[in-house]
Amino acid sequence: MKKTKKKPARKLAKSAAQSTKAQPALRCSRCGRPAAKDDKFCAECGLFLRDAYLDHRLLLALMEEKDGHSREARQQLEHLLQAEPNHVLANHMLGTFYFHQGTLDLAIERYQQAVAAAPTFVLAHYDLGVAWYHRCNMPEAIRAFRRCLELDPNYNAAHYRLAVSLFHAGQLEEAANQFKQSIALTPEYLMANYHIGVIHERRGETEAAEREFRRSLDEAVGEVSSLFHLAMIRRSKGDDKGADDLLRRAHEFGRAQSATS
């Protein structure tokens, strides 16, 4: 049996290079300029190198959404993604449609596709985190919000969402730190004070908890959960009248909210 000699590595590399070189290069049909596979326009003459209708579909979807035609907008995006599965904006936009429909698994799949194609797309990481949070998967939500903050440390909504996810995951110390960062960036995030109050309360730090619950109250009428916690603290101190007053305020506020919703 005749033995076949192995080609040296240099010859193999040369052979591969020749093979690649032999393949026809992508060129603009108008001016003949070479183009990369992912180029959308010819850099020389501006000709579309791929189907312009893909972007037309995205515009149609935006118009349909603007006019309140959610089903038609979703269909445009689904057709677009059949032709170009890695289209970042279409994946993100379709994910948001699915999220608002309550189909969280489909939303997560679209958001994941968007961040895979564009790893620095901050909003897609944030929306992915929100979807995981509503899916009650706190580890994945935490991971997505952390990635969001790696890209933009001042993204306050991500600080708050990360803090809430850590809170529900039982990581109270880190949750408190994130809530504090959220308050430092945006003091009007009153619910951050409320959550810090709950953390203090769980540690038995009554005075600190009371301080945070008071900070979380709206200047006009108050926030039901904070009022309730403050009432319980008053009750624990033997101030039944003060507790009853706070519970009455909470009841009135809750009834007013129900009437306007």
Per DSSP, what are the bridge partners of residue 34? 27
Residue whose tokens read 């850099």: 43
Model pLDDT, residue 62:
59
Categorise residue 137: left if φ over 0, alpha if ψ from -120 to 50, beta otherwise.
Answer: beta
Residue recorded with tokens 């709206």: 218
Residue 237, phi then psi, degrees to nearest 5:
-95, 5
Separation of alpha carbons 24 and 46, rounded Å: 21
Q: Which residues contact 79 (CB under 8 A, 6 or more apart)?
A: 57
Q: Is the dihedral of CA 69, 70, 75, 80 positive or negative?
A: positive
Domains of the chain: 188-261 (1.25.40.10)
Range 233-242 contact pairs with CB under 8 angstroms and sequence separation of 24 or more: 233/201, 233/206, 233/209, 236/206
Per-residue model confidence (pLDDT) at position 221: 41
Are the C-beta atoms of 94 and 77 separated by less than 8 Å? yes
CA distance 121 to 139: 20
Tell me phi and psi for residue 41, to 5 degrees. Answer: -120, 155
pLDDT in tens, 60-85: 555 656 656 677 777 777 777 777 78
Residue 85: what pLDDT? 82
pLDDT at residue 20, as a whole number: 40
Contact 175/195 with Cβ under 8 angstroms? Answer: yes
Could you give the percent of the chain with pLDDT greater than 70?
A: 72
Task: Give me the pLDDT at residue 9, please.
Answer: 44
Distance CA 37, CA 51 (A): 13
Q: Output the CA–CA distances (angstroms, integers) from residue 41 to 52, 60, 246, in the order listed.
A: 10, 21, 65
- Residue 80, both tokens: 């677009």
pLDDT means over runs of 10, the chain (261 residues) = 47 42 58 74 64 54 61 74 80 89 93 94 96 97 97 94 96 94 87 91 90 75 76 87 85 66 55
As given in the structure block, the two tokens for residue 48 are 């579309």
| Cβ atoms of residues 166 and 150 within 8 Å | no
| Residue 193 near residue 215, CB atoms below 8 Å | yes
